[in-house]
Amino acid sequence: MITKSTSRSEDAEERSAGFVVYRDGSEGRRYLLLRHREGGHWAFPKGRIESGERPEEAARRELQEETGIAAPAEHDGRLGESQYVFHRDGRAVSKRVVYFLAEAPRENVTLSAEHSASVWLGLHEASERLTFGEARRILDEADARLTGERPSEVTK
């Protein structure tokens, strides 16, 4: 049985929220990916939901903290959710991340100390750069919502 602990180092379950951020421009639609300093994996802006915080609030806070982007043009409702397990200090941690979709008002990104790089990429390039399959599935859902089509096989 997985239990929730108040100590971060003892967590067996975590809830996070984030955004799939995009921009439409002369180069077409591009998606924002961040490279985490610790581990080097590429992912979307996201972070832990704090006590008393709604997922939407956490996603907005994390986006601003991690990229400096405030007030994105949000699409209605949740985009999707991913679940995965990772290990921290020798313990398995079950993580659930709720994602939302938003258009960035600008391309400039101011990275937090948590990240070492950012990049705006088209769908195919972003899919190839993302480290984890769950993130590729979420990207596919985002693109399908934006184009009004069913998720493609591009990211599978």
Cβ neighbours around 14 below 10 Å, total:
17
Contact 25, 69 (CB under 8 A): no
List the chain domain ranges.
8-147
Of the listed ranges 1-5, 44-48, 51-55, 63-67, the least confidently predicted one is 1-5
Note the pLDDT tens digit of each residue in 73-88: 988 789 999 998 888 8
> Which residues does 87 contact at the CB level (< 8 Å), separation at least 6?
93
**At 151, is the pLDDT very low, low, confident or very high (cuts 50, 70, 90)?**
low
Fold annotation for 8-147: Nucleoside Triphosphate Pyrophosphohydrolase (3.90.79)
Considering the entire predicted model, what is its pTM?
0.85
Q: What tokens appear for 20 in the block?
A: 């799939």
